């Protein structure tokens, strides 16, 4: 799979990008080339290992062939000419966007999204997108907009850390100063790798799911322009990036070339937590289609598994570290085996690539874990599987809001196991009669988010009541057997 990391030429100023720098003397060039060859001979094997293991691309890949005659966002045989359909959302004031136009939809509580149709050119010095119209703008045309492309616009603190992008109609006299160094045949999507996206839950809920639902209709014929681009983000999510785009990512804050596009989208749509609302999309896509993207990029071959009828259902236990740990994890694993599961302990923060997590989780019939960001990997489960979320004291409403509806939309069976006072480590600190343990909702009242985060999210572990949890696992085992029987019957039919 070709890397979509930024082209390494993007930080240089050679002849290809119009840098116009001074030419080096011939002998200097000779020794420079010689040193590069020696470095490649010495270190190439190590680089290849890193590339295959972590998805890091140390060498620029050639851009995809130019196919600008292809209609983007429409069926290949639509016969409507070279049209870029930017906005796939319904309803939207920007759904029908004429050429040489800037349109912003600011009606959503979570996000602003702006669209530019026409000759769009990046001005990296001012972090601006300039639209060069073929004709002077209409008297009532929008001449300038500003937007911060992140899906939490209601949260002032974090939005202040998201770079603002300026969109404006350019005067024809500016064209000489914005000649194209790189001309793309696909529109630009501006998104950010900043905000809270260092957390897996937010990386998907704030980042990749919104990005996908915004541009999936373009079928990877879109260039990702990324703010706050960083190697961790690119390496961790390299396969998903490749599932979104056929092009190299443009590092908007460090690439100093003038990139040109036949249109641009700044910001991403948001349908809810890990949600895709088919009624708001022209093509009725759902979160299951996003799951299909994950399967496409992570399943590189036919899974080598025993026939379903020949193996026991598989239970995956997400093993947290630090806080919200299952303190009797070994006993819970043994309980799972006694109920009839094969049990896998899925370590978090283990340094393995996300593809390894996908392989482990997608093989599970049931996934169990305490509320936390790593449960976002439920997106890797196959439809029909089950998610059991363990909610510590004070956390049940938060836990349900994050994963219950999203699981149902994924075609998963969802159950929530709400820990009781005697199962929480807070009982050792406060005692069973303290309101923090006996009545968390009363204890939280008027205390604010800081109290919840410190006490209930950051300050407790759980010791599951094995007798009580057996009932949950027994139901999950029966569910797994029913799903298996249904699949086998369907195959026979």
Choice between 99 and 248, residue whose per-residue pLDDT is larger = 248
**Nearest 10 degrees: Cα torsion 390, 391, 392, 394:** 180
455 and 378 together in one domain? yes
Measure the CA angle with vertex 192, ends 189 and 196; round to 5°.
145
Full residue range of the structural domain in which residue 314 is found: 310-492
255 and 329 together in one domain? no
Q: Which of 253, 270, 298 represents a domain boundary (last residue)?
A: 298
Asked if the model's pLDDT at residue 71 lies above 80, the reply is no
**Which range (264-268, 347-351, 410-414, 450-454) has the least confidence?**
347-351
CATH number assigned to the domain comprising residue 488: 3.40.50.360
Per the domain annotation, does 291 fall within a domain?
Answer: yes
240 and 324 together in one domain? no
Per the domain annotation, does 27 fall within a domain?
Answer: no
Distance of CA 93 to the CA centre of its chain: 26
278 and 339 together in one domain? no
Q: What is the pLDDT of residue 262?
A: 96
Per the domain annotation, does 261 fall within a domain?
Answer: yes
Q: Which of 275, 298, 321 represents a domain boundary (last residue)?
A: 298
Asked if the model's pLDDT at residue 438 lies above 90, the reply is yes
Interval 221-254: pLDDT, tens: 999 999 999 999 999 999 999 999 999 999 999 9
Per the domain annotation, does 55 fall within a domain?
Answer: no
Least Cα distance to 273 among 425, 400, 118 occurs for 400
400 and 319 together in one domain? yes
pLDDT band at 57 (very low <50, low <70, confident <90, very high): very low
332 and 419 together in one domain? yes
166 and 281 together in one domain? yes
115 and 253 together in one domain? yes
Per the domain annotation, does 376 fall within a domain?
Answer: yes
- Rounded to 5 degrees, φ, ψ at 326 are -80, 105
Q: What percent of the chain has pLDDT over 70?
A: 81
pLDDT band at 300 (very low <50, low <70, confident <90, very high): confident
Which two tokens mark 488? 């086998």
Measure the CA angle with vertex 110, ends 107 and 114; round to 5°.
55
Q: What is the pLDDT of residue 310?
A: 63
Asked if the model's pLDDT at residue 58 lies above 70, the reply is no
314 and 269 together in one domain? no
Q: Which of 298, 326, 343 represents a domain boundary (last residue)?
A: 298
Domain count, the chain: 2
Measure the CA angle with vertex 27, ends 23 and 29; round to 5°.
50
Per the domain annotation, does 357 fall within a domain?
Answer: yes
Give residue 337's region: left, alpha or beta (phi > 0; psi -120 to 50).
alpha
150 and 180 together in one domain? yes
CA distance 373 to 351: 16
Per the domain annotation, does 411 fall within a domain?
Answer: yes
Q: What is the pLDDT of residue 95?
A: 85
Q: Per residue, what are the HEC states of 308-344?
A: HHHCCCEEEEEECCCCCCECCHHHHHHHHHHHCCEEE
227 and 95 together in one domain? yes
Residue bearing tokens 């990702």:
224
Per the domain annotation, does 248 fall within a domain?
Answer: yes
Cβ atoms of 142 and 103 within 8 Å: the answer is: yes
Largest CA distance in the chain: 83
316 and 265 together in one domain? no
Cβ atoms of 283 and 206 within 8 Å: the answer is: no
CA distances from 443 to 233, 430, 446 (A): 38, 12, 8
Residue bearing tokens 């006490």:
455
Residues in Cβ contact with 163 at an 8 Å cutoff, skipping those fewer than 6 apart: 127, 148, 192, 194, 227, 228, 252, 253
- Look at residue 355 and give its three-state secondary structure: helix
Taking residues 124-134, report their average pLDDT.
Answer: 95
């Amino acid at each position: 799979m070709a890397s979509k990391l930024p082209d390494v030429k993007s930080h240089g100023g050679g002849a290809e990008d119009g840098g116009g720098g001074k030419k080096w003397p011939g002998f200097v060039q000779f020794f420079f080339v010689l040193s590069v060859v020696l470095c490649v001979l010495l270190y190439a094997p190590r680089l290849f290992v890193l590339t295959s293991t972590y998805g890091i691309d140390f060498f620029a890949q050639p851009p995809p062939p130019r196919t600008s005659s292809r209609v983007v966002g429409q069926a290949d045989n639509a016969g409507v000419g070279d049209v870029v359909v930017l906005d796939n959302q319904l309803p939207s004031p920007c759904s029908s966007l004429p050429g040489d136009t800037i349109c912003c939809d600011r009606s959503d509580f979570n996000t602003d999204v702006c669209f530019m149709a026409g000759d769009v050119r990046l001005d990296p010095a001012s972090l601006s997108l300039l639209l060069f119209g073929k004709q002077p703008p209409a008297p009532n045309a929008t001449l300038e907009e500003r937007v911060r492309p992140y899906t939490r616009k209601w949260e002032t603190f974090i939005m202040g850390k998201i770079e603002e992008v300026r969109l404006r109609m350019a005067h024809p006299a500016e064209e000489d100063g914005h000649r194209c160094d790189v001309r793309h045949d696909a529109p630009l999507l501006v998104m950010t790798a900043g905000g809270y996206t260092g957390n897996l839950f937010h990386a998907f809920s704030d980042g990749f799911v919104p990005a996908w639902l915004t541009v999936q209709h373009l079928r990877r014929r879109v260039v990702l322009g990324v703010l706050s681009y960083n190697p961790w983000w690119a390496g961790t999510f390299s396969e998903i990036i490749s599932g979104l785009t056929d092009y190299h990512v443009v590092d908007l804050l460090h690439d100093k070339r003038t990139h040109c596009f036949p249109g641009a989208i700044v910001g991403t749509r948001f349908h809810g937590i890990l949600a895709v609302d088919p009624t708001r999309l022209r093509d009725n896509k759902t979160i299951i289609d996003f799951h299909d993207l994950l399967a496409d990029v992570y399943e590189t071959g036919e899974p080598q598994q025993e026939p379903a009828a020949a193996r026991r259902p598989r239970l995956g236990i997400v093993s947290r570290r630090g806080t919200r740990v299952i303190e009797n994890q070994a006993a819970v694993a043994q309980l799972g085996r006694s109920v009839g599961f094969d049990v896998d302990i899925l370590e978090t923060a283990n340094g393995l690539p996300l593809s390894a997590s996908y392989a482990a989780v997608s093989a599970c019939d049931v996934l169990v874990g305490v509320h936390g960001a790593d449960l976002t990997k439920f997106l890797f489960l196959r439809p029909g599987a089950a998610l059991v979320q363990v909610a510590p004291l004070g956390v049940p409403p938060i836990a349900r809001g994050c994963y219950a509806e999203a699981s149902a939309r994924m075609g998963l069976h969802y159950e929530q196991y709400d820990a009781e006072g005697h199962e929480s480590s807070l009982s050792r600190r406060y005692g069973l009669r303290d309101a923090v343990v006996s009545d968390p909702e009363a204890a939280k009242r008027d205390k604010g988010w800081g109290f919840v985060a410190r006490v209930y999210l950051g300050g407790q572990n759980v010791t599951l009541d094995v007798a009580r949890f057996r009932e949950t696992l027994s139901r999950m085992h029966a569910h797994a057997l029913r799903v298996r029987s249904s699949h086998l019957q369907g195959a026979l039919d």
